[in-house]
Chains A and B, each alone.
Chain A
Amino acid sequence: MKLPIYMDYSATTPVDKRVAEKMIPFITEDFGNPASRSHAYGWTAEHAVEEARRNVASLVNADPKEIVWTSGATESNNLAIKGIAEFYSKDKGKHIITCATEHKAVIDAFRELERLGYEATYLEPEANGLVDLEKLRAAIRPETVLVSVMLVNNEIGVVQDITSIGNICREHNVYFHVDAAQATGKVDIDLAKLPIDAMSFSAHKTYGPKGIGALYVRRKPRIRLQAQMHGGGHERGMRSGTLATHQIVGMGEAFRIAKEEMHAENKRIKALHERLLKGLTEIEEVYVNGDLEHRVPHNLNISFNYVEGESLIMAIKDIAVSSGSACTSASLEPSYVLRALGRSDELAHSSIRFSIGRYTTEQDIDHAIDVLKQKIGKLRELSPLWEMFKDGVDLSKVEWAAH
């Protein structure tokens, strides 16, 4: 067993060796610029880029012409949100809607638009992390131009009902963008059927390289967007900049493998998820964050009551996980996602996100369960809150000296 055991696949995944092998020739030998039309170096690179585009499109059942290369899902989200809002706000208006539990790349793009004079609504999700369709319907106004909701949540793994959300958007003639960075290879996506206008993808969450992503932009009916990166007019003017052939080849190969193997892989990961869930819920006072049914099995976000998240991460250094709480990034705020679910600060502070993937084994899961059981016990021995809980003190009634 290789230590620390990697259980942070939602942060990033290793590049599949098959993907890395396919990329290497495009760094050294086939280094041509895909935009060079005048010689074979360019043609070879262009051919590889277009094959990758077909592979990405094929995983989500889109037309290759609907795929625009970007540097990653953050850029895709920015391009879709700002690009659509800017292009269509003249006709539609300047109101935009998203959910409070979206990734920062969406939330902060919305904040930027607010700064530019747009009005934004941040829907509070239900306690299970899902968007209430009636709340969405009620939030839409005549001047609403765009709705953006993610498919799979990065912190808690819940899967939003993007079909119903998209249908509501269609009824009201509102554009709909979906951040699918955490979804590819995990859930089936059929863009020929889904009522979605733009969708963001990332390579490195699906065993491809970092630094490359894509944006799906619907062609029928045609969606327009204002470019955010200006230059040589690459990607039909939507995203200028020389294409990173080797990265693109990597993303294409990663998505091709995902399409081929995802159903078998997801079955295996579901079994691992159940094993982990069963083992960890044998511990007293644990709470799973996010809906247990509408979720990907790759994620398990769980709060260990009366234990603080950062010290827990320190205690389980043989397991590479992240704290649902952002303490690790030096900000002392608990996770805004868990807070939006209505979790108490204590539970939000005590959460751990386990995310498993292609190379996780049963032994890894069993080891993680053993370590957790042991360390939670140790930290609770240290915890005055645990002592009070065991003495029957109602912690919500205690007057704390906040600091």
Chain B
Amino acid sequence: MAYSDKVLDHYENPRNVGSLDKDDPNVGTGMVGAPACGDVMKLQIKLGENGIIEDAKFKTYGCGSAIASSSLVTEMLKGKTLDEAESIKNSAIAEELALPPVKIHCSVLAEDAIKAAIEDLKNKK
């Protein structure tokens, strides 16, 4: 399968790989997907005092497109409010990475991860 240059770039040089302290009240953790399906994404966001996402980290088990989708999402999230973050659509991710139809589910998963991380954060408040 041919990957777009953007997927390859995020895959070769993934941004913001790592973990934040999941017990920190300002950190929201979203874990979506299932190993049996071939992809699991863990996305974490850290909210600053001003209500702006100041950090985002990810770890992903999955194909190159899944890794690229989550890497891209961490870049998109930084500097956004939760409302802005919640409005990120999978289509924007798929378009930015030029994902082929068979890989659209990777962008859907990334959107789900954002929603799950925000929900976790809200539950802590």
Q: Does B117 touch A at the CB level, under 8 Å?
A: no
Bound Cα distance from A345 to B61, whole angstroms: 13
Bound Cα distance from A332 to B61, whole angstroms: 14
Q: Does A56 touch B at the CB level, under 8 Å?
A: no
Contact flags (1/0) for A373-403 with B, using CB distance below 8 Å?
Answer: 0000000011111110000000100001111
Contact flags (1/0) for A71-102 with B, using CB distance below 8 Å?
Answer: 00000000000000000000000000000000
Kindly list chain A residues whose C-beta atoms are within 8 Å of the C-beta of B3: 314
Binds B, one of A3-11, A224-232, A305-313: A305-313
B side interface size, CB within 8 A? 31
In the bound complex, do residue B38 and residue A383 qualify as a contact, i.e. CB atoms below 8 Å apart? no
What is the interface of chain A mostly: helix, strand, loop, or mixed? helix
Q: Does B33 touch A at the CB level, under 8 Å?
A: yes
In the bound complex, do residue B64 and residue A314 qualify as a contact, i.e. CB atoms below 8 Å apart? yes
Kindly list chain B residues whose C-beta atoms are within 8 Å of the C-beta of A306: 61
CB distance from B19 to the nearest CB of A (A): 7
Kindly list chain A residues whose C-beta atoms are within 8 Å of the C-beta of B63: 308, 310-311, 314, 327
Q: List the interface of chain B (C-beta within 8 A of A).
A: 1, 3, 11, 14, 17, 19, 31-42, 59-64, 66-67, 102, 105, 108-109, 112
Bound Cα distance from A327 to B66, whole angstroms: 13
**Contacting A384 at CB < 8 Å: which of B36, B42, B108?**
B42
| Nearest A residue (CB) for B33 | A403
Kindly list chain B residues whose C-beta atoms are within 8 Å of the C-beta of A345: 35-38
Q: Does A325 touch B at the CB level, under 8 Å?
A: yes
Q: List the interface of chain A (C-beta within 8 A of B).
A: 306-311, 314, 325, 327-328, 330, 332, 334, 344-346, 349, 381-387, 395, 400-403
CB distance from A164 to the nearest CB of B (A): 35
In the bound complex, do residue B36 and residue A308 qualify as a contact, i.e. CB atoms below 8 Å apart? no
Contacts A400-B36, A403-B109; A308 near B61 (Cβ below 8 A):
yes
In the bound complex, do residue A382 and residue B38 qualify as a contact, i.e. CB atoms below 8 Å apart? no
In the bound complex, do residue B102 and residue A308 qualify as a contact, i.e. CB atoms below 8 Å apart? no
Kindly list chain A residues whose C-beta atoms are within 8 Å of the C-beta of B102: 330, 332
In the bound complex, do residue A383 and residue B33 qualify as a contact, i.e. CB atoms below 8 Å apart? no
The 29 listed contacts between A and B (C-beta, < 8 Å) are: A307-B61, A308-B38, A308-B61, A308-B66, A314-B11, A327-B38, A327-B63, A332-B37, A334-B38, A345-B37, A349-B38, A382-B14, A382-B60, A383-B59, A384-B31, A384-B41, A384-B60, A386-B61, A395-B35, A400-B33, A400-B40, A402-B34, A402-B37, A403-B32, A403-B33, A403-B37, A403-B105, A403-B109, A403-B112
In the bound complex, do residue B34 and residue A308 qualify as a contact, i.e. CB atoms below 8 Å apart? no
Kindly list chain B residues whose C-beta atoms are within 8 Å of the C-beta of A386: 61
**Contacting A400 at CB < 8 Å: which of B1, B34, B59?**
B34
Residue among B31, B32, B38, B66 with the highest chain A CB neighbour number at 10 A: B38
| Nearest B residue (CB) for A345 | B36
